[in-house]
Amino acid sequence: MKKNTLYLVGIDVGNYDTKSPHTTTPSGYEGPYSEKQLLAKECLYLGGSYYVVTNERLYYMADKTQDERCLVLTLISIAKEILYRISKEETRHDAVQERIGRITRIALGAGLPIAHYRKNDVNKLKDYYMKHMGEGIAFDFNEYHFAFTLETVQIYPQGGAAAASIGSSVLNEYRTYYIFDIGGYTLDIAQFVEGKPQKDMHSLELGIIILYDNILDKVYKDFDMNIDYSLIEDVLSERNHVLPDNVVEVILDMTNRHANKIISAMRQAKIAFTSYPCIFVGGGSIVLKKYILNNSQIRKDIVHFVSDTRANAKGYTKMLRLSMSQKGV
């Protein structure tokens, strides 16, 4: 990449994970610290403070522009994406740093939940990013120095971007379809007509973190046992673990109940999910896929799942690249 070439990247700041097209980072960090923490595997240094990536997710905040967390998670993810791309060609620290130094101009694609995709919210998120990066920003991540100016930012609807990233035939074959985005804390639902989200949208607190926290509480109360998200994921992904059968049974039963609760909520909201094609996106959709399909009210022939957890970030990048090319950039 030549110096001053505009670098395009899509970043999906979720409540559970923050994704770039090729990397995934838990949406949690410790800090700010005034000193670098020993044994920190991934560390951001920004404005005289250190932020350490952790598996402990931050608490839910609908408006991500209220504090620095969205900026911190975005910068970490941008840095990891840049390092991923460069490390495919360079391995020496000096050579990697030299390549990073050429990246001085950034175009960012980001997103909002479908139910929050309104003009005021879009402009607010744009202003947030431009305020922090529009005049230039410098930071260190994992012993590498980054310095660039954010020249443009485009905000897209989550879910819709994920579907667009895979070039789903549903988007091309049908005029009307639903997108269900199961994220960390919310289930966001929107009907799309000719590629555009309609005004009647829903955001329900039925995300995957809600399920996981309920499981943690149940297991602790019933069995006096502390488990974490990773153990729940091991059970649901059928990976090796040493949890007793009665705990596994609770995890599986509560997961099935959560999936059924989602279907019931869709019915109560009078969503015509049996009349139009349905596209499920988001990390929660992947976890719950088997349980959603097992529900007798679901038409398997019209349901589609986007299995790539980084699909939103890829979709933002794809749409940003198209937008820039149309502008001749």
pLDDT, greater one: 195 or 308: 308
Cα separation values, 246 from 61, 208, 239, 243, 250, Å:
34, 21, 17, 8, 6
pLDDT of residue 167: 58
**pLDDT, average across residues 140-149:** 97
Q: What is the pLDDT of residues 196-247, one digit of tens each?
A: 778 778 888 899 999 999 999 999 999 999 999 999 999 999 999 999 999 9
Interhelix angle 245-268/229-236, nearest 10 degrees: 90
Tell me, what's the pLDDT at 259? 96
Query: What six digits make up the tokens of 13?
Result: 């700041």
Range 104-121 average pLDDT = 89
Pairing of strands 176-182, 278-281: parallel
Q: Between the CA atoms of 233, 234, 236 and 240, what dihedral angle is there, to the nearest 10 degrees?
A: 180
User: What amino acid occupies position 167?
Assistant: G
The reported pLDDT for the residue numbered 81 is 98
Token pair 């789903």: residue = 168
Distances (CA, A) of 121 to 155, 157, 234, 323: 10, 11, 37, 20
* Stated pTM of the model: 0.88
Distance CA 39, CA 55 (A): 15
What pLDDT does residue 291 have? 95
Contact 281, 168 (CB under 8 A): no
pLDDT in tens, 160-181: 777 776 655 677 788 888 889 9
Predicted local confidence at residue 165, as pLDDT = 65
First-last CA distance in the chain: 15
Amino acid identity, position 226 = N
Residue-range domains of the chain with CATH: 6-159+312-326 (3.30.420.40), 174-307 (3.30.420.40)
Question: Minimal CA–CA distance to 272: which of 192, 183, 204?
Answer: 192
DSSP 116: G
What's the pLDDT at 246?
96
Lowest mean pLDDT among 120-129, 191-200, 243-252: 191-200
In the structure, what pLDDT confidence band is assigned to residue 136 with cuts at 50, 70 and 90?
Answer: very high
Average pLDDT over residues 132-159: 95
Give per-residue pLDDT as tens, 273-322.
889 988 998 889 999 999 999 999 999 998 989 888 898 999 899 889 98
As beta bridge partners, residue 146 has: 139
Mean pLDDT of all residues in 12-35: 94
What b-and-e string marks burial along 204-214, b requiring 16 or more CB atoms within 10 Å of the CB?
bebbbbbbbee
- 237 Rama sector, left if φ>0, alpha if ψ -120 to 50, beta otherwise: alpha
What is the percentage of the chain residues whose pLDDT exceeds 70? 97
H runs (alpha helix) in 25-152: 69-87, 93-101, 119-133
pLDDT at residue 87, rounded to an integer: 92
